[in-house]
Chains A and B, each alone.
Chain A
Amino acid sequence: MTGPQPPVYIVDDDEAVRDSLRLLLESSGFSAREFANADLLLNTNIDEMGCLLLDLHMPGISGLELLRLLRARGLKRPVIVISGRRDPVQDAEVLAAGASALLSKPFDDQQLLDLVIRALSA
């Protein structure tokens, strides 16, 4: 890896999933920041964000709504959507809303890290 990487932002309402994602990223040399819901992210300066790991099913503003909001506000950084439940219609909606990749829980760690590396270098 070359030089300090911008942090990966994680938005997931499940504390264990969020925390374990951060640890997985940190164990591979990335830095990460956790957000328990969409509102917390929306109240943060996201200019420094390298990429976003976004859970789809959350109380309040859902992952899909958040993605649309961020794209509407002009976010250009890659967004990797992680979902527990996949279905083709939802996948199409998520991709149409501007997701750069989709992952199902539980996922292969290398697959995630590859996606993150690609996202950060984009």
Chain B
Amino acid sequence: MRSWRQQVRSEGVEAPRDAADFGSRGQAGLLAALLATAVDGIIAIDPRGHVLLYNQACERLFGYRASEVVGQNVRMLMPEPYRQEHDGYIANYNHTGERRVIGIGREVVGRRKDGSTFPMYLSVGEGGLTGQRFFVGIIHDLSALRWETEQREGADRLLAQIVQSSEDAIISVALDGTITSWNAAAERIYGFSASDAIGRHISMILPPDRPTEDDDIMAELRAGRDVEHYETVRRHKEGHDVLISLSVAPIFDASGAMIGASKTARDVTERKRSEERLLGMQNELAHVGRLSAMGQMSAAIAHELNQPLTAIANYAKAAQRLLQNEHPEPRQLQSAREAMEKAVTQTMRAGTIIRYLRDFVEKRESRRFHEDMNEVIREAVSLGMVGHSHSNVKLTLALDPMLPPVPIDKVQIQQVLLNLVRNAMEAMAGVERRELTVSSGTGQEGLCIMVQDTGPGLAPQVAARLFQPFVTTKADGMGIGLKICQSIIEGHGGTIVARQGGSGATFVIHLPFR
């Protein structure tokens, strides 16, 4: 009979038949199969470190065949510095019984035949067979696990770096509003350091006039609605307000339960200021446009006011004459009363013109309300027709009575319409057939206003540059009227285009419903 050592050397993975007292051939076969099919590497060495047994899993792990390893020192399977130190470990254990791995197990590094290394978990047991001691090592390859861990850690690290380097404040809160993370941009935007903020309630950055806003946002999230680009205000550590565009999304745990929310906020203070500055400049420009329009209309306006003033003076003088008798007749008294009533009516007429002009030239903030567009058109057209009562223009208002109210700055839209009407009147001054048609209607996305004249129309070279500033065909024009019209309409989210009509020009304005 061969010794167990001989048997191991010759058969590689076959287990000893008699040494472990397995008692039967069947058990030995089972053991051999177990060694051959084990996923983990199994290796046995003698007390000097020489390999006694080296299973098939080990061949896959280390790249050495069993025949290359069995009988060799096991340190060939180790990289430096373990390789140099291994003999010392065994000698030390043999001498002192001090355990490093034996009976325990730990993570070590293996070396493949090609010199590459891999992480492995090594557990070592000590055994004895017919008086000879040996050690059995079970080797579990950690490469895949380590790779996954590294990938996950790498992804986490990357994500953390992205969050940390973001220009936007990115914070997370638990369901009860406790802050759980706080990036560098949050520190910059809100003024609180991460260590100040984490663990405190999110209400610390809410301004006093919005105490429940965060609760409302969380309620939205619970109802399944994300909050995106919501413009709101937060309070900086130093007490001033910060305008932010806020997006909030729920955070779920592995089971799908909502456990909090992530909040991304962009500081839009500067953008808002720029927008306000731009809006201010547009308002200023629109105002200049109205002043300019009024300047050009001043003679016509004077005439328009002169009519009621003349009538008032006449009525008052008539009443005075009727009453100058010491005992006026009842008929004279009645006439005088009527004259005074009519004078009052004419005062109202003059007052209405003045009020309307004052509204028109007043320097004001842009205000938008839902307005009856047809009424807006009627007023603008009547102002635009001032001074043209004797111009023999046939005016047609084709207004859709079912127009929905739209949010507009009434004065600015009237300014546009006034400009178009006055342009049309001037365009028709030299033609025989003078018809001005102003119409309104609704489309799918908004409403449409058309101002159509029967003037000479637009020459192609003029039409192409119509909305450019300082382009004019008028001797006394600045060429900014239509540019201002366009900026007003675009400021309302709409469009204005000019079309060459059948005879004359047509300006078409589209304004969105909201």
Query: A109 contacts which chain B residues (CB < 8 A)?
Result: 313-314, 317-318, 321
Query: A106 contacts which chain B residues (CB < 8 A)?
Result: 306, 309-310, 312-314
Chain A 1-39, CB within 8 Å of chain B: the 1/0 string? 000000000000110110111011011100000000000
B321 interface neighbour in A14, A16, A27, A57, Cβ under 8 Å = A27
Query: B309 contacts which chain A residues (CB < 8 A)?
Result: 105-106
Is B303's CB under 8 angstroms from A17's CB? no
Chain B 322-360, CB within 8 Å of chain A: the 1/0 string? 100000000010011011001101100100000000000
What number of residue pairs across chains A and B have CB atoms under 8 A from each other? 90
Residues of B30-58 at the interface with A, using a CB-CB cut-off of 8 Å, are none
Is B346's CB under 8 angstroms from A23's CB? no
Is B342's CB under 8 angstroms from A57's CB? no
Query: B299 contacts which chain A residues (CB < 8 A)?
Result: 85
Using A16-B308, A16-B346, A59-B389 as known contacts, say yes or no to A23 and B314 having CB atoms under 8 A apart: yes
Is A20's CB under 8 angstroms from B314's CB? yes
Is A16's CB under 8 angstroms from B342's CB? yes
Q: Range of interface residues on chain B?
A: 20 to 34
A58 interface neighbour in B336, B346, B349, B390, Cβ under 8 Å = B390
Main secondary structure of the interface of B (DSSP, over half): helix
Is A13's CB under 8 angstroms from B311's CB? no
Query: B84 contacts which chain A residues (CB < 8 A)?
Result: none
Quick check: is B467 within 8 A (CB to CB) of the other chain? Answer: no
Residues of A35-94 at the interface with B, using a CB-CB cut-off of 8 Å, are 57-60, 62, 84-85
A17→B321 CA distance, assembly (Å): 18
Is A107's CB under 8 angstroms from B310's CB? yes
Query: B342 contacts which chain A residues (CB < 8 A)?
Result: 16, 19-20, 23
Quick check: is B503 within 8 A (CB to CB) of the other chain? Answer: no
A14 interface neighbour in B307, B318, B339, B391, Cβ under 8 Å = B307
A19→B314 CA distance, assembly (Å): 9
Quick check: is B134 within 8 A (CB to CB) of the other chain? Answer: no
A49→B315 CA distance, assembly (Å): 23
Is A24's CB under 8 angstroms from B306's CB? no
Residues of A88-112 at the interface with B, using a CB-CB cut-off of 8 Å, are 105-107, 109
A58→B322 CA distance, assembly (Å): 30
Quick check: is B392 within 8 A (CB to CB) of the other chain? Answer: yes
Chain B nearest CB from A56 CB (Å) reads 9
Query: A21 contacts which chain B residues (CB < 8 A)?
Result: 314
A24→B343 CA distance, assembly (Å): 12
Is A24's CB under 8 angstroms from B314's CB? yes
Q: Which residues does B use to contact A, with CB under 8 Å? A: 299, 302-303, 306-315, 317-319, 321-322, 332, 335-336, 338-339, 342-343, 345-346, 349, 389-392
19 cross-chain CB contacts under 8 A? A14-B311, A17-B311, A17-B314, A19-B311, A19-B342, A20-B318, A23-B335, A23-B338, A23-B339, A24-B315, A24-B321, A26-B335, A27-B319, A58-B390, A84-B302, A84-B307, A84-B310, A106-B312, A107-B313
